[in-house]
Amino acid sequence: MDYLSAIILGIIEGITEFLPISSTGHLILASKILQLPSTEFVKSFEIIIQLGAILAIVVLYWKTLLQKRDYWPKLFLAFLPTALVGFTLYPFIKNVLLSSPLITLLTLFGGGVVLIVIEFLHKEQEHHTTDLSHLSTRQAILIGLFQSIAIIPGVSRAGATIIGAMLVGTKRKTAVEFSFILAIPTMLAASALDLMQSMDVFTKANVSVLGVGFLTSFLVAIVAVKYFVRFIGHHTFISFGIYRILLAIIYLFFFIL
């Protein structure tokens, strides 16, 4: 992988990480378009540069993280299902799921349909949770179970957690905020696990390429998160659902068939 490819993937990661459209799915499809070989390093790159986008959340939400420590136990409960599933199925995830553009396309399409249906059926109620401090143990565990589905590329970790949070009774903005913060322990753990399993694939040249992708995703995510927060204040997720469906169809016809 060269530096230009790292920058392109970093931009894609920074834009898509917190949108309900699957950053991992986009990285897999973009890597195929860029004709990058499906090596262990490329797979690790696609996992680890997500930390750059996660660092953007730490920078933007550090006050919230420090001031609202009372929901840290709920954050841990929500993180636990994904940690257990990810650790148990790590070889299958990396060697099978991350190597299949077809699986990614199917989940992008199906997830788009789900987003649209949920938006038409879901109605926010006055009693829905507006403060993360008031999130119940049950809600946290259920959101975590939704997030664990996102081990399948194309599902979207952000999409799964946001939809899950809305379905278990949180306001839309609260769901998005919790999704942002839940990404921190989730992606830290995923990256740490991959680094421990794949240290031997990192050469000096690979590390510098990874650093470029990491920095790019961080800078782009800073802007993308701010835009997304403003966007959800006035729009539903239907447009993201339509985008997912169109992307899956267009990619299938131009690059698979």
Q: How confident is the model at residue 257 (pLDDT cuts 50, 70, 90)?
A: low
Distances (CA, A) of 110 to 1, 85, 98, 205, 249: 31, 21, 17, 38, 11
Please, are residues 9 and 49 in contact by the beta-carbon 8 Å criterion?
yes
Average pLDDT over residues 113-137: 84
**pLDDT at position 69 over 90:** no
Q: How far apart are CA 185 and CA 70, in angstroms?
A: 16
Q: Say which residue the tokens 């996660």 belong to.
A: 54
Each residue of 17-51: pLDDT tens digit? 888 999 988 998 999 899 998 888 888 888 889 88
Give the separation between CA 22 and CA 215, rounded to whole angstroms. 20
Name which residue leads in pLDDT, 115 or 236: 115
- Average pLDDT (145-155) is 91
pTM summary value? 0.88
What is the overall mean pLDDT for the chain?
Answer: 88
